[in-house]
Amino acid sequence: MTLELQLDPIEARVLGVLVEKELTTPDQYPLTLNSLTLGANQKSNRDPVLDLMEGDVYAALQKLIRKGLVGSVHPVGSRVEKFRHNGAAVLKIEAPQLAVISELLMRGPQQPGELRSRASRMTPIESLPALMEILKPLLEMGLVVRLDPTPGSRAERYAQRLAPSAHPVESAASSRASSEVKALVAEALAPPSPAVAAGEATEKRISDLEANVARLRRQLDHLAWRLGEKLEG
């Protein structure tokens, strides 16, 4: 069921912000459209940084409401509509898992150390083993996927699968193939080293000499034939 629930990049950002603000600034939650837009465009703890209008955020909210992930409320004594998420209930996960999903929705694939540090703003994660315990049910449900290390790195990464288009990831095989192609192109375009250049020049001279000898031999054979003679050797 969860994998059938797909979000676009703006929906992903809006849901991520709602979860984040509930856990980090509960006194300001639920959020107004204005505060939600400011949170979506926030320059810290966001990747990529967006420049959304209130209309963009409102359209995303309406889609999230239809999917059951968001609800609107009108607090007593206030005419301003506010919004809250239903992420834990719809996805059937606990608050720590929701915090990790929120972090991945807002910043994309991350290594375990990065993910633990950043998600700890929302929920206590004391160690990397503790993070792995949080990730375990998310991996089993298909909400999160493990990615192989990128070239030059030893640590795996983890990415959310609710909004694949929010942070497209390149497969490890494609990444390796791309790196290999780039290396081959660089090698082909690089100037030869002095030793290689000298070796190539020597080979060319030998090849030219062999060609000249063969040409002279053909000319002598032809001359001998016209004179009625036969060359030896």
User: Per residue, what are the HEC states of the chain?
Assistant: CHHHCCCCHHHHHHHHHHHHHHHHCHHHCCEEHHHHHHHHCCCCCCCCCCCCCHHHHHHHHHHHHHCCCEEEECCCCCCCCEEEECHHHHHCCCHHHHHHHHHHHHHCCECHHHHHHHHCCCCCCCCHHHHHHHHHHHHHHCCEEEECCCCCCCCCEEEECCCHHHCCCCCHHHHHHHHHHHHHHHHHHCCCCHHHHHHHHHHHHHHHHHHHHHHHHHHHHHHHHHHCCCCCC
**pLDDT of residue 217 exceeding 60:** yes
* pLDDT classification of 1: cutoffs 50, 70, 90: very low
pLDDT given for residue 207 in this prediction: 79
Q: pLDDT grade, residue 226 (50/70/90)? A: low
Q: What is the mean pLDDT of residues 14-38?
A: 97
Compute the average pLDDT of residues 201-222: 74
Looking at residue 224, what is its pLDDT?
A: 60
CB 161 within 8 A of CB 3: yes
Question: What's the rounded mean pLDDT across residues 116-141?
Answer: 97
**pLDDT computed for residue 173 by the predictor:** 45
| pLDDT for 3 | 62
Stronger pLDDT, 120 or 78, i.e. the higher one: 120
Q: Is the pLDDT of residue 231 over 80?
A: no
- pTM equals 0.72
In terms of residues, how long is the chain?
233
pLDDT of residue 102: 98
CB atoms inside a 10 Å sphere around CB 84: 15
Tokens of 212: 């000249």
CB atoms within 10 A of CB 207: 10
Checking if the pLDDT of 184 tops 60, the result is no
Q: pLDDT class for 26, splitting at 50, 70, 90?
A: very high
32: β partners: 82
Q: Exposed (0-12), middle (13-18) or buried (19+): which is 209, by Cβ within 10 Å?
A: exposed
Q: What integer best gives the mean pLDDT of the chain?
A: 86
What local confidence, expressed as pLDDT, does residue 169 receive? 77
Per-residue pLDDT tens digits for 70-88: 999 987 777 899 999 999 9
Q: Which CATH architecture has domain 2-166?
A: Orthogonal Bundle (1.10)
